[in-house]
Structure 1
Amino acid sequence: MISIAGVIGAGIFVGSAKAIATAGPAVLISYALAGALVVLVMRMLGEMAIAQPDTGSFSTYADRALGRWAGFSIGWLYWWFWVIVIPVEATAGALILGDWFPGVPQWAFALAITGLLVASNLLSVGNYGEFEFWFALVKVVAIVAFVGLGLAAILGLLPGSEASGVGHLWQDGGFMPNGFGAVLAAMLITMFTFMGTEIVTIAAAESPNPESGIRKAVNSVIWRISLFYLGSIFIVVSLVAWNAEGLSSAGSYQFTLEQMGLGWLTTALEFVILTAVASCLNSALYTASRMAFSLSRRGEAPAGWSRTTSRGVPAQAIIASSVVGFLGVIGNYLLPEKIFGYLLASSGAIALFVYLVIAMSQLRMRRQLDADGHRPEVRMWLYPWLTYLTIGFICAVLVLMLVQEGHRLELGLSLGLAAVIVAIGLTRGRRGPASDAGRREPGAPLDQAQAERTTPRT
C-alpha cells in the first residue's frame, strides 16, 4: 500500500489547479513527461535496491558508486527536503482543521498533528506501516471513486450533472491554448508532486522480503501514475474549462465535483486531503529519520542517530528530525513570511538532484553488477542509452528552472545549499571510509545486533 499510494500526495488535490491554469488541457502532457521521468528513475533505483537493499537507498548507492562525498551530500540534502516538508504539511493540515474548528488556534493543530505522528513513529516501524496502510486506502478509494464518477459524467450516466463529454479538451482555446512553453512550465509545477515515490525502497529494507516488495513497486509504478495522475486529471480537464472562474480558488477536484452536481462531497474530499497531508507528514518523519540513521551508520552524522531501541526504532534520529520539524512549525507562525519562504525555496530543486544522483549511480553500479555476474530481477531498459537520456532530461529541466522566473529563486537557493554540503562532503571524503560495525538496521532483532557487534559488515 505504501508503494501504491506513495505517488498520491496533497499536491495532486491542491497544486493541480495551478498547473491546469498554466497549460490548459495540455497539462496532461506535463504530467506524462514528469511521470515518465519518475518511471525511469524508479526503474534505475529498483535495479540497485533489489541487488543491495538498504535503508540509505540512493545515498548508500551514491556512496559506493560515486564516492563518499556523493553519499554524504545527497543524503543530507534529502534529509533537509523531508524535515522542511514537516512544517509545510502540518500547516496545511492545521488550515483544514481550523476551518472545521474555528475556535482552536491553527498553531495548536499543527503541533498536535506533528506530535501525534512523532509519537507513533517512536513506538515502532510497524506503526508507520499501519498508518500508511489506512492513509493509502483512503486516498486510493477516493481517487478511484472520483475517476469512476467522472467517467459516468463524461458518458452522460450521472444524474444531475451539469458537465458531460470531453469537449473541454479543445473547446476553450484549443488543447494547448498557451503554447508548448506553458506545458514545460506546468511540468515544473507537477514534477515535485511525485517526490516520495522512492520511499518504498527505503521502507522495503525493513521488511521481511525487500526484493519482492521493491520489484512489485517498481513494476507497478507505470499504472499507478497513469491511473492516479493522468486518469484523474483527464477527468478534470474533460469536464470543466481550464480557465473557468473559481477553478484555481476552489481546487480542481472540488470544482469538478460541484460541476458534476456532487458539491456535497467536497467535505469528504477535504477529509481525503487531510489524510494525504497526514500521510505525507508521516512519511517525512519516517524517511528523514531513516536517512539520518544511514548517514550515522556510515559515520556522516552523530553516532547516536544509528542506535536503535529494543523495538528496532532509531529513536534519536527520529527525535532529531522531528525537532527541526517542530522548529519549522513554530517558525512558520513566528518568522516573517519572506524568511520562511526562503527556507522552503532552498529545497525546491532537491528532487531533481536526487534523480540525477540516482541515474549517475546506476551507470556505475550496473557495470559492477554485470562484472560480478549479478542479474537483479528489475533491470534498466536500454542501458546505458536510456540512462544517459534521463540524465540529459534532468539537466534540461534544471536549465528550464533557470530561465523560468518563478523557479529561479528555488534553483539558486537549492544550488547554494548543495554547494555548501558538497564542499563539506569533499572535505570529509579525504578521511577514509567509515565503519558501520556494531549497528543494525532499524527493525532488526536484537540477536542480529549482537552478532554485528562482533562481526563487522563487509
Structure 2
Amino acid sequence: MAGPETAGPRGIAGADKRKLGLIGAIALVMGNMIGSGVFLLPASLAPYGWNAVLAWVVVTAGTLVLAWVFAALTKAKPEARDPAGFVTAAFGDLPAFFVNWAYWVSVWTANVSIAVAAVSYTSAFVPAIGETAFMPALSAIVLLWAMTLINLRGVRAAGNFQIVTVLLKVIPLIAIVVIAAIVLGDGRGEVRAFEMAELNGVDLRAAAAFTLFALLGFECASVAAARVENPDVNVPRATMWGTALTGLLYLLVCSAVALMLPQDIVAQSPAPLALFVEEFWAAGPAALVSLFAIISCVGALNGWVLMQGELPRAMAERGTLPAWYGRTDSRGTPVRALIASSLIATVCLALNASRSMQGIFEFVLLLSTSAALWLYLVVALAAWRLKIVRPFALVGAIYAVWTLWGAGIEASGWSLVLMLAGYPLYWWARQKASRGPVASAE
C-alpha cells in the first residue's frame, strides 16, 4: 500500500510502530473470542451435562483445524494477505467479495450485540439504564463510539488497549479454574458423575451450537494480517496460540461451573460464574465478576471495531468496494471505513431501540454468527482447491457444514440474503475500475 502506511521511520528493532506485534496479535484473537458469551454459557450448557464437555472438545478441535487451515494459507500464500485473498486465488473476485461482505456484516452486527451485552451488565450497577425505554440502545451507541474513537487513534493504540483488557478479562476465568482445583482437592466439591448413556448426538449438536458462538473470532489475526508485523510468521502463531488458549479456558471454566453446581440452579442463573464464586468463595468476589464481564465486553468490542474498519479498507484496495472506503490517514488508519461501519451499527441500534436489551442482543447475534460461518467454509474449500493442507481443509469444510446445519435453515438463509445485498456496491466498484492500491490521504 502506498503512502505513509508503508513509509516512515521504524523502531530500533525494525518494528513498525503502527502495526501489531505477536503479543498484540494474540491479544486481538483472544480478546475478540472472549466476549460476553463465557459469562453466560454455563447456564445454557448446564442441561446438557457431559454432552457440553464433549461439545467443547469437538468444537475446539474443529476450530483448531480451521485455524490451522488459515495459518497454513497465510504461510503458503503471503501475497494473498488475508482470507479474501485466499478465496480470490482459488475462486475469483466475486466469491471473495460475497464471503468478505457477509463477514463484514457479521462484524458490525457482533459489535451491536457486544455493546448491548456490556450495557446489560452495566445496568446491574446503574439500574437507571434499564428503566428507560431508549437508554439501553443509547448507552450502547455511546460505548460503540468510544471504542471507535480509540481505534481512530491508530491500530497500535487499539492493540495496546486490547492487551490490557485481555489481561483483565482472563482474571475471573483463571480464578474459576483455581477455585475448582482447590475445592476438588480438599473434598468440598465434586463433579457430576459421568454416565456413558448420557451422551447422545442430539444433545451434543445442540450444545455444540452454543459453544460455537464463543469461539468465533479465531480468524481475526488473519483478516487483519496487513496490520500485523511479519505476518507470515506472527499471524499463524497468533491464530493457533490464541485459539488453543481460549478453547482450553472455555473448556475448564464452563465444565467446572456446569458440573460442580446443581444443574437446575445453574440453568436459571443470570450470572453463573458469579454464582460459582459465591458458592465456593464469598459474595464480595462474586460481585466483581459482573465488573470483569463489562471489561470483557469492552475489550471484545474494541477488537471487533478494529476489524470493522480493516475489512472494507482491504476490500477497497482490491477494487471490490468503492475506493472511498480505502482512504487512510497519516497513521494508516482507515478513518472513513471505521466511521461508516460504526454509523451502520448505530442505525441498527437505533432501529431496534424499542426492543429490550435481550431482544436486541438475540436479533443481531443470529445475523452475526450465521454470516461468519460462510467465510470458514469457503476458506477451507479454497485451501482444498489450492492443494494446501488438504486433509485439514477437508475436515474443516465438513466441520463448517456441520456448524451451518446446527445454526439452522433460517440463519443460513438470512446470511445468503445479506451476501447478495452487497452486490450493487461490488458492481459500482467494478464500473469505477478501482483495481489498484489506494493511496493514503494525508
Normalising to structure 1: TM-score of the pair?
0.81
Report what 2:396 is aligned to.
390
Report what 1:18 is aligned to.
44
Post-superposition Cα deviations, 1:389-442, rounded to whole Å, max 9, x if no partner, equal 2212322333344xxxxx343233223333555x769978997985223436x9
Report what 1:411 is aligned to.
412
Query: For 2:119 and 2:220, how far apart are their aligned partners in 1?
Result: 25
1:22-421 aligned within 5 A? 23-53=48-78, 57-104=82-129, 105-156=135-186, 163-166=188-191, 168-170=192-194, 174=195, 177=198, 179-221=200-242, 223-241=244-262, 243-334=263-354, 344-366=365-387, 383-401=389-407, 407-421=408-422
How far did residue 69 of structure 1 move?
0.9
RMSD of the alignment, in Å?
A: 3.0
Query: For 2:372 and 2:185, how far apart are their aligned partners in 1?
Result: 38
Q: Report the AA paired with residue 109 of structure 2.
A: I
Report what 1:371 is aligned to.
none
How far did residue 6 of structure 1 move?
4.2
Report what 1:452 is aligned to.
none
How far did residue 314 of structure 1 move?
0.7
How far did residue 29 of structure 1 move?
0.9
Distance 1:72 1:226, change over 3 A: closer
Query: For 2:340 and 2:90, how far apart are their aligned partners in 1?
Result: 28
Tell me the secondary structure at the aligned position of residue 164 of structure 1: coil
Query: For 1:55 and 1:320, how far apart are their aligned partners in 2?
Result: 25
Tell me the secondary structure at the aligned position of residue 144 of structure 2: helix
Q: Which runs of 5+ in 1 are unaligned?
A: 158-162, 368-382, 402-406, 447-458
Number of paired residues? 410
Query: For 1:397 and 1:213, how far apart are their aligned partners in 2?
Result: 28
Tell me the secondary structure at the aligned position of residue 359 of structure 1: helix
Report what 2:435 is aligned to.
435
Query: For 2:436 and 2:298, how far apart are their aligned partners in 1?
Result: 33
Q: Report the AA paired with residue 248 of structure 1.
A: Q
Tell me the secondary structure at the aligned position of residue 92 of structure 1: helix
Query: For 1:147 and 1:91, how far apart are their aligned partners in 2?
Result: 28
How far did residue 353 of structure 1 move?
0.8
Distance 1:201 1:176, change over 3 A: farther
Tell me the secondary structure at the aligned position of residue 435 of structure 2: coil
Q: Report the AA paired with residue 355 of structure 1.
A: Y
Post-superposition Cα deviations, 1:8-51, rounded to whole Å, max 9, x if no partner, equal 22111113321232x21220111111111110111111112234
Q: Is the 8 A contact 1:8 1:276 kept in 2?
A: yes
How far did residue 56 of structure 1 move?
6.3
**Greater alpha carbon shift after TM alignment, 50-59 vs 321-330:** 50-59
Normalising to structure 2: TM-score of the pair?
0.83
Query: For 1:385 and 1:246, how far apart are their aligned partners in 2?
Result: 40
How far did residue 359 of structure 1 move?
0.3
How far did residue 103 of structure 1 move?
3.6
Identity value in percent: 20
Q: Report the AA paired with residue 124 of structure 1.
A: G
Post-superposition Cα deviations, 1:237-287, rounded to whole Å, max 9, x if no partner, equal 33113x222543233312222221333222211111111111221122111
How far did residue 154 of structure 1 move?
1.2
